[in-house]
Structures are given as structure tokens and as C-alpha cells.
Structure 1
Amino acid sequence: MQIIGQIQGWIILGLGLLALATEAYALIHAVRQRPDAFTAAGKKSKTFWVAALALATLLGFAVLGSGLGLLAIIGIVVAGVYLADVRPAIDTVMGRGR
């Protein structure tokens, strides 16, 4: 039974690392964009998204390895909203859209 607990621990750590990488990717993308692209796309300001994603990345790092608790879920949801909604809109405004 101890081996099952160890496998579960590795899976949780892997998921936490994946979430942290996603949050960091979203943060880096937001930092590299022009501030006017956010308003042109009809989204919240660059300052808002950089702050929200920095907090999400910090939460992801803070709970790394301790399980996927509420803080980790909040962080990945913020990054997911950015990557699924804001990033495509900004890419379209910047001429990189599909």
C-alpha cells in the first residue's frame, strides 16, 4: 500500500509542475505584450493581468508538492482564462491571430 501513496505523490507533484509551468508561460506572455493591445482587444488592462498572473504563479509555486488545493485551483483557473480568452484576442489584435 505504501507504493500506491508514493505513486500518488509523484502524480500530484507532476500535476503541480505542469500547472506552475502553465502559469509561468501565461505570465511571460502577458509581460511581453504591449499595454494598448489589451484595451484594443477589449480586455482588462495589462497591469491587471500581469498582477493576476504573478499571483497565480506565486500560488502555484507555494503549493507545489502539497497537493492540488483551492489555491492551486485558483491559480490555474486564472492562467486558463488568460490563455483561453485574453491571449487569442491579443494575438488577433497584434496580427498573429488565426
Structure 2
Amino acid sequence: MPDLFAVQNGLSLIIGVALFAAKAFALVDCVGRPSAQFTYIETLPKRSWLIILCLAVAGHVVDGFRPLGLLSLIGTVAAFVYLAQVRGSDSR
């Protein structure tokens, strides 16, 4: 019988790495996006998003890649809001 804690830890690590990848993707997307587009879609300025997303990535690392850590959860929400609001505006 497999050790259930090993399965849980493995699944937690996989989810943690996936969420880190989403935050890193949002940060890279923000760096490569022109500042004028943030004004056009009436959202936070690019500098604000860069600060938020850098803190999200740093918080995830500080939290030890735990997907349910407080810093990780806050950063995940911020990254998904960015992706939905700014990157999602490309399809409009």
C-alpha cells in the first residue's frame, strides 16, 4: 500500500510548481506588454502590476512552494486577476 503522505506531498509539490509557473508567466507577460495597453484597458498601471507580480513570485518562493500557504494564495489570486484582466483583454 502506498504511503498516503508521500502521495499528498507529491501532489502538493506538483500543484505548487504549476502555480509558480502561472505566476512567472504572468510576470513575464507583464514585462513584455507595452505600457500604453494598460491605459487603454483602464486597469492598474504597468509599474503597479510589475510590483504586485514580483511580490507574488517572491511570496511563493518564501512560502516554500506550498500551494495553500497564505502568501502563495494571495499571489495566485493576483496573478489570475492579471491574466484575466490584462491578458484576457487581448481577445476583445
The verdict on a shared fold, with TM-score over 0.5 as the criterion, is yes
Q: CA deviation at 1:71?
A: 1.1
Residue type matched to 1:81 in 2? V
Residue 17 of structure 1 deviates from its aligned partner by 0.2
Moved over 6 A (4+): none
- 1:18 is matched with 18
Q: Aligned partner of 1:39: which letter?
A: T
User: How many residues are aligned here?
Assistant: 92
Cα distance in 2 between the residues matched to 1:2 and 1:70: 29
Using structure 2 for the length normalisation, give the TM-score.
0.90
- Unaligned runs of 5+ residues in structure 1 are 92-96
How far residue 64 of structure 1 moved from its aligned partner, in angstroms, is 3.0
Identical-residue share of aligned pairs (%): 35
Q: Normalized against structure 1, the TM-score is what?
A: 0.85
CA RMSD between the two structures: 1.7
What residue in structure 1 maps to residue 31 of structure 2? 31
1:1-98 → structure 2 map (5 Å cutoff) = 3-66=3-66, 68-89=68-89, 91=90, 97=91
